[in-house]
Amino acid sequence: MSEPFPAFDQPRHLGPAQREQALAEFSSSEFDLLVIGCGVTGAGVALDAASRGMKVAVVEQRDIASGTSSRSSKLIHGGLRYLEQLNFSLVKEALRERSLLLQTVAPYLVHPVRFLYPLRHRIWERLYVGAGVALYDALAKLGGNKLPVHRHLTRKGALKEIPALDPVSLVGALQYYDAQVDDARHTLAVARTAAGMGAQVATSMRVTGFRQEGDKITGAVARCLETGVEVEVRARHVVNATGVWTDLVEELAGQDSVEVTASKGIHIVVPQKLIRSATGMIIRTEKSVLFMIPWSQNWIIGTTDTKWDLDKAHPAASQTDIQYVLERLNSVLLSPISEADIVGVYAGLRPLLTGESDATSKLSREHAVWATAPGLTTVAGGKYTTYRVMAKDTIDAVIEDLGGGFRESATERLPLIGVEGYEQLWTDRASLAERHGLSVRQVERLMGRYGSGVVEVLGILRSRPELSAHFPGSDDYVLVEAVYAALAEAALHLDDVLTRRTRISIETPDRGLAAAEAIAPLMGEVLGWDDSALARELAHYRARVEAERDSQRQPDDHTADAARIGAPDVRTAGRL
């Protein structure tokens, strides 16, 4: 008989016991703030509020970062193309946030990444792009940047960096630095840090209506999608941080404020060995730019920018989307990449504030905070990189409405969970690996996901050493991570672990199907799944993978969407 798993019972541990406690608190307490949505914006709002001394509740209808915040380009950047639009303030703000994330807030999660920009025209393009990148570096320096500045390369120098480039596709290049992040794990760290400061966080909770006293909103009604039970959450103020679902939540409150448009972006994932390169790459297209971003043993390549008005819960990549990305990539490669080379595809929706143009690439990337109704504030728009600023602006507005009484924001100096003690553990990583029977490479990868929290993850191996085995299909992950996800990271379903706590669903050709068979029983030990629940979880994950594959065989968004939503949602079909 297997040894029982350790009990993780501190507030930062978002496990089954903590969820039950949160539901009990929802029913029995009044909160200063209720946050609807736990993407990076909602998690950031919760952290900013909790760090100022507010009593905070957070409800999320699916999983932490299950929407836009797990489906981005995984970049922390200022946005070079916003300079071309003369949006200097947005770029400067984002570059300052990049420096804070790299140096203070999340240094184990956010890492420098090099990009090469191929030049196709002599003289004028080098002058034009070079001036833009020089301004980018200058604005970064004002924000405390410590990354190397850009450099100019000849064609020979560019081909040395990326041997896979077709020599006729460029005359030279520029190389500059930005940063990248595992967006889902970063959002989770923000949420767990908020929980560690007292925020009550519960996923699988869908808001179905609002509490009102006169014309003032005083909380919300939320239904647990695991049990069907409804609870009333009383709060002095409510924040709507639901991204592309903003309009739907406003409708529940009987309001119709700023329109938020959903713009779809898709990315493909291909093995690194197929594109010989020592650096990432950015390619200018007729509509925007295309990134090739290093990601473990793969490249992430994207994105697109097209309007999406179909099911917001299931954005789908069509064959047309995939061909667009492949054609732009192959325009500069010596050996083309084909559809057969792709191991993963994902699609996400950006929440954009409607501007004067219907072209989503021209809608506002800047965020807005507004009073939707008495007691209800909405935040929408923005960039992943500037989530902390969005959160601060939101809570500043909330405190003004509440009449003050709380501290100033200090999140720019607040490290996320996993930062404290990380540097010393990194120094000792070889001995850490030896003590737990792992390779140094494995420990380094674990530390890149958990920071100093790796001690808790590896601690489970003392009683269950068999969990040091790899996930089937990938040597990037070990089985203990699935257990820890259920014990401490709010994972309630297989999909949560395979697509967000790990990223195996986009990193292996089988989309994580072999891994699902191995980790389902382990999650079931923690979450109390019986045989029927175990079978249901596996069936749902298989259906999800098949639906995504069907979508990618369809020529356009409407047929792709129909294929994608053929997979049932385990949160609404599995437990009620």
- For 370-383, how does the pLDDT look when each residue is reduced to its tens digit (9 = 90+)? 999 999 999 999 99
Would you say residue 485 lies in a domain?
yes
Residues in the chain: 576
Would you say residue 452 lies in a domain?
no
Would you say residue 380 lies in a domain?
yes
Say yes or no: 136 and 114 in one domain. Answer: yes
Say yes or no: 270 and 136 in one domain. Answer: yes
Looking at 333, 362, 391, the residue that finishes a domain is 362
Say yes or no: 468 and 524 in one domain. Answer: yes
User: Does 363 have pLDDT greater than 60?
Assistant: no
Task: Calculate helix-pair angle for 513-527, 480-488, nearest 10 degrees.
Answer: 40
The candidate with the shortest Cα–Cα distance to 318, out of 544, 511, 556, is 556
Across the chain, what does the average pLDDT equal? 93
Please write the tens of the pLDDT for every residue from 229-247.
Answer: 999 999 999 999 999 999 9
Say yes or no: 194 and 301 in one domain. Answer: no
User: Does 419 have pLDDT greater than 80?
Assistant: yes
Residue 415: pLDDT band (50, 70, 90) is very high
What's the CATH number where 136 sits? 3.30.9.10
User: Does 359 have pLDDT greater than 60?
Assistant: no
Would you say residue 6 lies in a domain?
no
- Using the Cα atoms of residue 376, residue 381, residue 386 and residue 387 in order, give the sign of their dihedral: positive
Please write the tens of the pLDDT for every residue from 160-173.
Answer: 999 999 999 999 99
Helix (H) / strand (E) containing 306: strand 306-307
CA atoms within 13 A on the CB side of 307: 11
Which amino acid makes up residue 392? K
- pLDDT at res. 84: 84
**Residue 459, C-beta contacts closer than 8 angstroms, at least 6 positions apart:** 6
Say yes or no: 117 and 197 in one domain. Answer: no
Task: Calculate helix-pair angle for 387-402, 88-100, nearest 10 degrees.
Answer: 100
70, 86, 194, 236, 478 from 496: Cα distances, Å: 11, 39, 20, 31, 16
Across the range 407-424, mean pLDDT stands at 97
Say yes or no: 273 and 252 in one domain. Answer: no
Would you say residue 428 lies in a domain?
no
| 135-160 b/e (C-beta count within 10 Å ≥ 16 → b) | ebbebbeebebebeebeebebeebbe
Say yes or no: 189 and 103 in one domain. Answer: no
Say yes or no: 174 and 317 in one domain. Answer: yes
Residue 309, burial from CB neighbour count under 10 angstroms (0-12, 13-18, 19+): exposed
Per-residue tokens: 369: 């905070």
User: Does 72 have pLDDT greater than 50?
Assistant: yes
User: Does 154 have pLDDT greater than 70?
Assistant: yes
* Range from 267-276, 308-317, 437-446 carrying the lowest mean pLDDT: 308-317
Would you say residue 403 lies in a domain?
yes
Q: Are 219 and 235 in contact (CB under 8 A)?
A: yes
**What is the percent of the chain with per-residue pLDDT over 90, rounded to a whole number?**
85
- pLDDT at res. 572: 66
Rounded CA-CA distance 571/496 in Å is: 11
- pLDDT at res. 190: 98
CA atoms within 13 A on the CB side of 177: 17
Please write the tens of the pLDDT for every residue from 21-52.
Answer: 999 999 999 999 999 999 999 999 999 999 99
DSSP 362-409: GSB-SEEEEEEETTEEEEEE--GGGHHHHHHHHHHHHHHHHT--SPPP
Per-residue tokens: 200: 């009550």
Residue 392, burial from CB neighbour count under 10 angstroms (0-12, 13-18, 19+): buried
- pLDDT at res. 325: 97
Say yes or no: 522 and 405 in one domain. Answer: no
Across the range 288-296, mean pLDDT stands at 94
Say yes or no: 282 and 171 in one domain. Answer: yes
Q: Which domain holds residue 106?
A: 82-180+261-362
What's the CATH number where 402 sits? 3.50.50.60
Would you say residue 421 lies in a domain?
no
- pLDDT at res. 563: 64
What's the CATH number where 485 sits? 1.10.8
The candidate with the shortest Cα–Cα distance to 107, out of 417, 407, 377, is 417
Domain count, the chain: 3
The candidate with the shortest Cα–Cα distance to 375, out of 356, 350, 398, is 398
Q: Are 354 and 258 in contact (CB under 8 A)?
A: yes
Which amino acid makes up residue 345? V
- pLDDT at res. 562: 67
**Residue 345, C-beta contacts closer than 8 angstroms, at least 6 positions apart:** 266, 267, 268, 269, 317, 322, 506, 548, 552
User: Does 295 have pLDDT greater than 90?
Assistant: yes
Residue 568: pLDDT band (50, 70, 90) is low
Residue 574: pLDDT band (50, 70, 90) is very low
Say yes or no: 404 and 482 in one domain. Answer: no
CA atoms within 13 A on the CB side of 361: 13
Residue 356, burial from CB neighbour count under 10 angstroms (0-12, 13-18, 19+): exposed
Say yes or no: 174 and 278 in one domain. Answer: yes
- pLDDT at res. 575: 43
Would you say residue 419 lies in a domain?
no
